[in-house]
Amino acid sequence: MVLEVEVIDDLAHPPRRPEWTCDADGAPWPCDPARVDLADRYAGRPHTLGKILCAALHLAARDLEGSTDAAELHERFVGWPAALT
């Protein structure tokens, strides 16, 4: 899971943990610019994008346990790439 965290930390709009807000704009992460960056970086590699986002979801669920609805986290982290297809 370390590799996936390094990938998201390298974004122009990385997550601020343990809050899981964007370090650049304060929006819930992944913010729109982070989503665009991730979609561009992993265009044609949806399984890699999914793996990265699932790893981030796992970390966020642990960090935000009890403060955020699980369905909301799921949609926020792994629901949005479905709209790309």
State the DSSP string of the chain: -HHHHHHHHTSSSPEETTTTEETTT-SBSSPHHHHHHHHHHTTT-HHHHHHHHHHHHHHHHHHTTTTS-HHHHHIIIIIGGGGG-
At residue 8, the pLDDT reads: 87
Q: What is the pLDDT along the chain (85 residues), one digit of tens a residue?
A: 555 667 788 899 999 999 999 999 999 999 999 999 999 999 999 999 999 999 999 999 999 998 888 999 999 999 999 877 6
Q: How far apart (Å, rounded) are the C-alpha atoms in residues 73 and 77?
A: 6
Supply the range of the domain harboring residue 27: 2-84
pTM of the predicted model, to two decimals? 0.88
At residue 1, the pLDDT reads: 52
At residue 4, the pLDDT reads: 60
At residue 45, the pLDDT reads: 93
Number of domains in the chain: 1
At residue 13, the pLDDT reads: 97
Report CA dihedral (22, 28, 32, 35) to the nearest 10 degrees.
Answer: 80
